[in-house]
Amino acid sequence: MTAPFDLSDDSVVVIVGTGAGGGVLANELAQKGVSVVALEAGGRYLPEDYINDEWESFGQLAWVEPRTTSGDWRVARDFPNLPAWIVKAVGGTSIHWAGASLRIQDHEFRARTEYGNVSGANLLDWPLTRAELDPWYDKAEKKLGVTRTNDLPGLPGNNNFKVFEAGAKAIGYTQVNTGHMAINSVEYDGRMACQQTGFCFQGCKWGAKWSSAYTDIPRGEATGNLEVRANCHVLRIEHNEQGLVNAVVYSDADGNEQRQSARMVCVAGNSIESPRLLLNSASSMFPDGLANSSGQVGRNYMRHTTGSVYGVFDKPVRMWRGTVMAGIIQDEAHNDPSRGFVGGYEMETLSLGLPFMAAFLDPGGWGREFTSALDSYENMAGLWIVGEDMPQETNRVTLNTEVTDAFGMPVANVNFDDHPNDIAMRNYAYMKGMEMYDAVGATRTFPTPPYPSTHNLGTNRMSENPRDGVVNKFGQSHDIPNLYVSDGSQFTTGAAENPTLTIVALAIRQADHIAGELSKGNL
């Protein structure tokens, strides 16, 4: 039974965004009896709606409203209006994610202490330890049904994994397996097992991969405490004379402006839209935007040090068959500055279909050097590098007042320069990836530049001291006690791991915290 709440009902918690952060938070609060209105800019699509065709699916799910880019990253040149490949739909990017579910390592929560003073980096320790978060990681792994946890078996390895595993072993790696995946290896939680269909990035048509779209959200709605309003694009957050937030203004599905009163607001629109919303909500009391007394809103944008390596062999691999990212090597995930950089990286299997391979193998490339690579598509194996990138104050999301969206609001500009540590790590990882494939007979290997960002992090970061960041260790803003951030923008540092499991763990923990504060009358 979906709850209908009145626009003037000021007892509701308003959540902006319904992905891994907002969608989970909405359900967890609803389960505890808290009234929630979740505003989602996109429409509602379920497994039967997903399209297993790369460009058609991109048109269905991707956030394609204008954004701009600047800085020395290659994405700014190759995809100037597409800094990120993220989803606009009920369920958010949890529809598109690959399912890789890793806990951030203990030392990565203490990045500033462990890595020291890295020139040009704005490193900071999280105000949270791994031990403190572990109980919520346990809950997140159970919720998502992560393989290799809770006695759930690993997924079987596909052709791409077999090449990856053989290459890894050939160069002496030992920590290689089919990953910790939120993709069912056996039936779990009412969802079926993976059928090795491919197209994990286009939404799982079997529902074998966890997404808030068809788990947390309908369960939250079933409590009668959650109303999800789709196609409602939030424009700004308002506050009262005491400086507490009290309403969210949005454009509804018919394009009419609405104002939902709120007891508190949780922002979960991803690391680009969340800071944009806080900045677009500037007022005379908060001229630099909400929760921004530190000046850190929008800063320290991180996207992981990524890149891909494709190897071509003399015989077919058919990498597109099966689970896209069920393969990981963790031998390089530790911190060992003797490699020439701080932090570590994961290597994970990756494949793209032919249409996206043509777009992303070497954006802008042409001629026979390019086409002879694609001619070997059937014989390719591929992997993705996911490494810790350095937070930098100048890597930031700002408002571009010269470009406005359909609602007349300034769009986000994403400025990003690679840090020398990022470049050193990427080049090292490229060499290792090529070495792996060469060791099992590759005839040609391609280091491939980073795609538009799928991991967007850090733009409203957690900090112990309000001077250093935007929110505290519960995601509560330092400046405005009833304003929370509930997505990956909370991350103090990026760590080497795919971020979704941590976003989910933080959302469950934040729900426990908010429910406690509400019952104590603190909010």
Partner 1 sequence: MNSQTSREGLTRRQLLSRSAAVGASFVVGAGFVAGADAAWALETQALSPESMAALIQLARDIYPHDRIPDENYVIAVKVYDTADAAPAIEAGIAALDAVAQGRGYPSYLGTPWERDRVAILREMELSPFFQSIRGGLVTGLYNQKAVWPLFGYEGESYSEGGYLHRGFDDINWL
The footprint of partner 1 (CB under 8 A) covers 52-53, 55, 156-159, 162-163, 166, 194-199, 205-206, 315-318, 320-322, 353-355, 358-359, 364, 366-368, 370-371, 374-375, 377-378, 440
CB closer to partner 1, 129 vs 371: 371
**Minimum CB distance to partner 1 smaller for 48 or for 241:** 48
In this complex, which beta carbon is closest to partner 1, that of residue 243 or of residue 363? 363
Q: Please, what is the minimum distance in Å from the beta carbon of residue 167 to partner 1?
A: 9
**Measured between alpha carbons, how far apart are the two ends of the chain, in Å?**
27
Contact between 461 and 340 (Cβ < 8 Å): no
Q: Torsion over CA of 216, 219, 223 and 226, rounded to 10 degrees?
A: 50
Q: Which is nearer to partner 1, 75 or 342 (CB)?
A: 75
Nearer to partner 1, 224 or 363 (CB): 363
Edge-to-edge strands, sheet with 13-16: 226-229, 36-39, 13-16, 264-267, 483-485
Q: Computed from CA positions of residues 71, 74, 78, 83, in that sequence, does the dihedral angle turn out positive or negative?
A: negative
DSSP 454: S
At its nearest, how many Å lie between partner 1 and the CB of residue 364? 8
For residue 453, the one-letter residue type is S
Q: Tell me the closest approach of the beta carbon of residue 196 to partner 1, in angstroms.
A: 4
> Judged by CB, which is closer to partner 1: 437, or 491?
437
Beta bridge partners of residue 446, listed in sequence order: 310
Q: Which is nearer to partner 1, 31 or 159 (CB)?
A: 159
The single residue listed with the structure tokens 């990565």 is 108
Whether 225 contacts 35, CB under 8 Å = yes
Residue 170, judged by CB atoms within 10 A of its CB (0-12, 13-18, 19+), counts as middle
The whole-angstrom separation of Cα 142 and Cα 326 is: 18
> Any idea how long the chain is?
523
Number of CB atoms found within 10 A of residue 43's CB: 14
Mention every residue, 6+ apart, whose C-beta is less than 8 A from residue 218. none
- Cα angle 44, 50, 56 (rounded to 5 degrees) comes to 105
Query: CB within 8 A of 436, min separation 6: which ones?
Result: 164, 167, 168, 170, 171, 173, 309, 311, 383
User: Which CB atom, from 315 or from 520, has the smaller least distance to partner 1?
Assistant: 315
The answer for residues whose C-beta is within 8 angstroms of residue 451's C-beta and 6 or more apart is 75, 85, 306, 308, 360
Closest CA to 229 of 20, 25, 44, 22: 44
* Smaller CB separation from partner 1, 317 or 342: 317
Nearest distance, CB of residue 147 and partner 1, angstroms:
16
User: Least distance in Å: CB of 89 to partner 1?
Assistant: 19
Q: d(Cα 391, Cα 121) in Å, to the nearest integer?
A: 6
Q: How far is CA 455 from CA 139, 245, 301, 384, 487, in A?
A: 22, 28, 10, 13, 11
CB-nearer residue toward partner 1: 206 or 428: 206
DSSP-based three-state secondary structure for 305: strand
CB of 460 to partner 1, least distance (A): 35
CB 180 within 8 A of CB 150: no
Instruction: In angstroms, give the least distance from the CB of 396 to partner 1.
Output: 28
Identity of the residue, 163 or 267, whose beta carbon is nearer to partner 1 in the bound complex: 163
Residue 356: CB minimum distance to partner 1, A: 9
Q: How far is the CB of 372 from partner 1 (least distance, A)?
A: 9
CB of 95 to partner 1, least distance (A): 15
| Minimum separation from the CB atom of position 197 to partner 1 (A) | 3
Nearer to partner 1, 197 or 427 (CB): 197
Distance between CA 361 and CA 369 in Å, rounded? 11
**In the complex, minimum distance from the CB of residue 378 to partner 1, in angstroms, rounded to a whole number:** 3
